[in-house]
Amino acid sequence: MTEVTTVVEETATPGPGPADGADALRANLYALLANLLAGAPKAELLGVLASIELPEDGADSPLGEAWAMLRAVAGKATPERLADEYQDVFIGIGRGEVVPYGSWYLTGFLMEKPLALLRDDLDRLGFKRQEHVSESEDHIAALCDVMGMISGDGGVANAEQQAAFFAAHLAAWESRFFEDLQNAPSARFYRVVGFLGERFMSVESKYLDVRAEPVERRAAT
């Protein structure tokens, strides 16, 4: 998979244990969304997406339809066309059709209090801003990148911390962002990315609710 230039970098020592299968899949999907939302995909990544093998028993799952759609559009896309689409959707002249920042969705402005609170949490988790990146840490790609790093193999956060980070910095606005992405006038490939993101985040929020639930409360049900 093509490497993305991230907004933040991890400075904490990774956790001691490997991720289980579900956590590894979560981390990979977060990493994919981070790549696609940070910039237009290159030919290498498009080739990977176009050749995804979909399990027959998962075709009707919440994510199965989204994966099939992504494979189809990736097979028809070109890096040049997607660079233009990304420019129109996310950057534009002055502003893109979709503004991919948490502060914008939560306050209507950029660089507001939600970003300051996010920076505090990132510092506690051992992440710092990369100096050469212009985007702020509340960019949706950066948040997906962080979620992938804290939930994957050797992640620095346990289930409760992952759920708390998701609830504090994604849950209140990610569904609106992915809905807006699907409805952006210039979005073709990125309409499917929005659909995949919406489906994944719906599954993810339920998964985190269960994982972060105290053991004694689960045992009592």
Burial of 69 from C-beta contacts in 10 A (0-12 / 13-18 / 19+): middle
Average pLDDT of every residue of the chain? 86
Reading the block at residue 77, the tokens are: 């896309």
Give me the residue spans of the domains in the chain. 27-51+60-220
pLDDT one-digit tens code per residue, 36-91 = 999 999 999 999 999 998 776 666 777 899 999 999 999 999 999 999 999 999 99
Share above pLDDT 70 across residues of the chain, in percent, rounded to a whole number: 82
What mean pLDDT do residues 5-16 have?
Answer: 45
Helix orientation angle between 140-151 and 113-125, rounded to the nearest 10 degrees: 20
CATH superfamily of the domain spanning 27-51+60-220: TorD-like (1.10.3480.10)
DSSP string, 66-95: HHHHHHHHHHH--HHHHHHHHIIIII-SSS
Type of residue at 1 = M
Model-wide pTM > 0.95: no
Digit-coded pLDDT (tens) for 151-210:
875 555 688 889 999 999 999 999 999 999 999 999 999 999 999 999 999 999 999 988
How distant, in Å, are the alpha carbons of 51, 105, 139 from that of 111?
39, 11, 11
* Residue 107 pLDDT exceeds 50: yes
